[in-house]
Structure 1
Amino acid sequence: MEDLEDVLSSHYNETPYDPLGHGSEADKKKFRPISLNRTQNSHVLQIRNDVPAQQAALMWICFGVPTFTPYVPFYSNATDTDPSWSETSCDYNIKDAYWMYRTLSMLTETHYSNFLQENRDYLTDAKEEQHRLIAETDKNAAELSGQELVAYLTTRNHEMVAEMRDRTMKEIGNFVKQGLQFSKLIFDMDANL
């Protein structure tokens, strides 16, 4: 899964062809990166062979630019999706997963050199938490079957979305607060006045 995420989030990272890197302007525009600002969503379907078939299928979905936003796992054997994912406003609404992750992408790219490491740490922490939640869900789901299993997996999908929303909104808040300090319209009062 991580290998696919790396490929799908590639923008020729750390090469002369990276549009966000230090190559020449000609090199930066020579090749089209996979991960672009225009990416609306990216997804990976995973069928795991180390768990019962009823909980084996995961759909990992990424809204926003895959370079800056996480792939969020959803068990496919579920009956509902959190409304923040299934209902997206045409107008900006940060409560919609699409707009929330697009906001994170825009903030990170806009201040790339300032936010790059913090964004990488956020993505690493998110992946670790997702794998922990999946392992916990798989363990508890092994005892369930039928509609009881489907209901449990549906609930867990909602809980994983909520955990990622809390984590992402905290990251957005951090970036907004830091970004305010980058304004050119600032004035430092002389302490001697």
Structure 2
Amino acid sequence: MISLFLKKRRLKSPYRLPVLNTLLLPNGPARAGLFEEDGINEFNVAMSATESAYSNDLVLGFDPLVENGLNEEGMITVVLPFVKTAREGVQRLGKLIAQYGTGETNGVLFADDNEAWYFESGAGHYWVAQRIPDDAYAVAGNQLAIQEVDFNDSRNFLYHQGIQEFVEQHHLNPQPTGFNFRQIFGTADRSDAIYSTPRVWSGHQMFSARQATNETPESQSLPFIMKPDQLISVFDVQDYLGSHYQGTPYDPIGTGDMHDRHRYRPISLAKTQESHILQMNRPHGNDIHWLAMGVTAESSFVPFFADINETAAAYRRGKLPAQPNSAYWIFKHAGVLVDSDIHNLLPLLEDVQKNVNQAAIKFIEEMDQAKLNLDSNWEYYITKQNTAFAQQILRKYQQLTAELITKLTDNSPLNFNTDENL
């Protein structure tokens, strides 16, 4: 999983609609229960809990992970309904982990109208959180990311009250001064260099190319907080979440050396189940959860307004085996067909993606205007309109699938040049 956190692009999705949080694991067995990933409560506090990371063995030796602790899939449920601000979300999650422990190392995003925070657990019970500055962004890629912690700056840092004593008692800080959370609690091995840091490097190259000229894909000291070269749009974020090192030697479907093409783990993978962009602080509070089902590079982000009270039925299905009436499998079907002849068929998919983006912007503009003019029944109206739009996008992908199947018939090994009259 990759997380890109933008201040003033506040994260938001409708917590009232748990389906948006549970349909994201279509290959999860039903008996496993809900695997919630992101949401928003009635106080417009947003939370996204999808970022798995790793702690080093030294730290875990002194504070092991807790087998039955609070893990990623349960964090939304026990935090989001109980907080009124992003800061309260950080504090509640931190308190729960300090008390009950966690069985995983995780990064969690929080935001409201005023602040955006990134929270990281670094061991069984210890954690820190940093506020993202108003003019900055942060990228985290399955690796602890927060660096220097200023314990005297309560506006920008929150933390487990015993973390300094814990580190001092067990001599965990490799530096004589400062408190670099990533260095003390995280990992910096070969797997990080090929799995995590290249994706962070990619984000910096995309959004801060003028500043990141000396960065390399395998650097273990990439900065957590970055300022973009220019304002970052929702479509910029979509491009990043769907990227696979295009324009570099590391693109798996590029023209580089075979070794380079498979050197680093790309952001968009064949096994990706979903990507979400949670866009907040929009006009009239008309916030949006953009959801891409399946492989991000071969899917489209569909906007769901936060005020809807029901989600289109197709977006609530995602079990195995593949279901033809499931949004996940409809997007996945088109992508699998493209994969069979990607260089020739990808342009067809890209045309659909562009069409969807343009339609989404038009739809959002219409709904923003509608909210201004509707005095009542807004939730009923936006739910009906959003459901229709989401279904419209599925029809576009079903039409693409039909076109792809038709074209792929010519690729069959059973083809033979015969008299066309026979």
Q: Does 1:143 align with 2:373?
A: yes
* Distance in 2, Cα, partners of 1:131 & 1:98: 22
Residues 70-121 of structure 1 deviation map (CA, whole Å, 9 limit, x = unaligned): 0000001111001100132322112100100111111112211111211111
Aligned to 1:12: 245
Pick from 393, 396, 417: which aligns with 1:164?
393
- Contact 2:273 2:295 survives alignment (8 Å): yes
Alignment CA distance shift 1:100-1:17 (3 Å): same
Aligned to 2:415: 186
Q: Secondary structure at the match of 1:52?
A: helix
- Contact 1:141 1:152 survives alignment (8 Å): no
Give the letter aligned to residue 105 of structure 1: G
Pick from 82, 101, 108: which aligns with 2:331?
101
Pick from 76, 82, 100: which aligns with 2:312?
82
* Distance in 2, Cα, partners of 1:165 & 1:11: 24
- Contact 2:317 2:326 survives alignment (8 Å): yes
Give the letter aligned to residue 40 of structure 1: Q
* Distance in 2, Cα, partners of 1:92 & 1:137: 33
* Distance in 2, Cα, partners of 1:160 & 1:191: 43
* Distance in 1, Cα, partners of 2:421 & 2:373: 70
Residues 103-154 of structure 1 deviation map (CA, whole Å, 9 limit, x = unaligned): 11111122111112111111111100111111112112211245x0111111
- Contact 2:317 2:328 survives alignment (8 Å): no
Q: Does 1:35 align with 2:261?
A: no
Q: Does 1:22 align with 2:255?
A: yes
* Distance in 2, Cα, partners of 1:106 & 1:4: 23
Q: TM-score, normalised by structure 2?
A: 0.43
Alignment CA distance shift 1:192-1:158 (3 Å): closer
Q: CA offset at residue 191 of structure 1? A: 5.8
Q: Secondary structure at the match of 2:250?
A: coil
- Contact 1:68 1:119 survives alignment (8 Å): yes
* Distance in 2, Cα, partners of 1:145 & 1:41: 35
Q: Does 1:114 align with 2:347?
A: no
* Distance in 2, Cα, partners of 1:180 & 1:145: 53
Q: CA offset at residue 15 of structure 1? A: 2.0
* Distance in 2, Cα, partners of 1:179 & 1:32: 29
Alignment CA distance shift 1:149-1:181 (3 Å): same
Gaps of 5+ in 2: 1-233
Q: Report which of the two structures shows the higher radius of gyration computed on alpha carbons.
A: 2
Q: Secondary structure at the match of 1:61?
A: strand
Q: Which has the higher contact order (CA 8 A, sep 6+)?
A: 1
Q: CA offset at residue 177 of structure 1? A: 0.5
Q: TM-score, normalised by structure 1?
A: 0.93
Alignment CA distance shift 1:153-1:13 (3 Å): same
Alignment CA distance shift 1:190-1:124 (3 Å): same
From the two aligned structures, give the one with the greater strand fraction: 2
Q: CA offset at residue 179 of structure 1? A: 0.7
Where does 1:56-67 land on structure 2 (aligned, <5 Å)? 56-67=286-297
Give the CA RMSD over aligned residues.
1.5
Following TM superposition, the consecutive aligned residue runs of length 4 or more in structure 1 with deviations greater than 4 angstroms are none
Pick from 32, 52, 55: which aligns with 2:284?
52
Gaps of 5+ in 1: none
Give the letter aligned to residue 52 of structure 1: H
Alignment CA distance shift 1:191-1:119 (3 Å): closer
Alignment CA distance shift 1:87-1:192 (3 Å): closer
- Contact 2:245 2:266 survives alignment (8 Å): yes
